[in-house]
Amino acid sequence: MKPTSPPRRFFFAALAVAAAFATTAALDKGGTAYSKKNETSILTEPKPLAAATGKVGFAEALKIEEVRGLWLRVKTKKVAGWVFSGNVADEKPTLAPAASLTTTKASDTDTVAAARPLTEASKEFAARHHGASAQADIEWLDQQALTVKPDEVDAYIRDNQKGEYQP
């Protein structure tokens, strides 16, 4: 395979930047956003710890009335307020998210999918690649996750300015 030339790399980098801009540009005042989660809180102000004025369900349309950084002031027939832009999409989602992946707290998720028994072929592959202890590793991880409290996860996200706690 031939190495990528600088002009070609520049083209792909420019394409990625344009795609990112197009995604954010779509969430403009007067546009429509759609909730990506099974339940998205609409807040009284553009702050992560603000009180909720209500909640919207998966793929519910939200009319964008104002954009303030990563926050959108939105309105539906039933509720109005602020939502973190990471919780919405500019196109209506067609596939509902898996319940285990849409919890609001990382500590509430589990590893049910990963803990399913492996087929014989999968077990043989894992053994050849030093992954034979995957089931035990998952069980250990589940036990460790039980020691982390939801409030600790929230504090970490807030203190490290992740997600909706970004400045």
pLDDT, tens digit, 9 for 90 and up, residues 10-61: 544 444 444 444 444 579 999 999 999 888 999 999 988 899 999 999 999 9
Backbone angles phi, psi at 94, to 5 degrees: -105, -20
Residues 127 and 144 grouped into a single domain: yes
Please name the helix (run of DSSP H) or strand (run of DSSP E) that holds residue 34, with its range, or none: strand 32-35
Residues 86 and 151 grouped into a single domain: no
Q: In this predicted model, what pLDDT tens digit does every residue of 67-117 receive, in sequence order?
A: 999 999 999 999 999 999 989 999 998 876 654 444 444 444 444 545 555
Number of domains in the chain: 2
Is residue 23 included in any domain, yes or no? Answer: no
pLDDT of residue 26: 73
Residues 116 and 89 grouped into a single domain: no
Residues 49 and 89 grouped into a single domain: yes
Judge contact between 48 and 39, C-beta under 8 A. no
The DSSP line for 64-118 is EEEEETTEEEEE-SS-EEEEEGGGEESS---SPPPGGG--SSGGG---HHHHSPP
Residues 119 and 143 grouped into a single domain: yes
Residues 120 and 88 grouped into a single domain: no
Please name the helix (run of DSSP H) or strand (run of DSSP E) that holds residue 163, with its range, or none: none
Q: How confident is the model at residue 9 (pLDDT cuts 50, 70, 90)?
A: low
Q: Is the pLDDT at 150 greater than 90, yes or no?
A: no
- Structure token pair of residue 10: 């520049």
Instruction: Give dist(CA 43, CA 50) in Å, integer.
Output: 6
Residues 83 and 134 grouped into a single domain: no
Q: Which domain holds residue 108?
A: 98-167
Residues 90 and 110 grouped into a single domain: no
Instruction: Give dist(CA 161, CA 150) in Å, integer.
Output: 16
* Residues 6 or more apart whose Cβ sits within 8 Å of residue 158: 48, 49, 165
Backbone angles phi, psi at 25, to 5 degrees: -65, -25
Residues 75 and 106 grouped into a single domain: no
Residues 45 and 55 grouped into a single domain: yes
Residues 106 and 92 grouped into a single domain: no
Is residue 10 included in any domain, yes or no? Answer: no
Residues 113 and 161 grouped into a single domain: yes
Q: How confident is the model at residue 153 (pLDDT cuts 50, 70, 90)?
A: confident
The domain boundary residue, chosen from 79, 97, 115: 97
Is residue 77 included in any domain, yes or no? Answer: yes
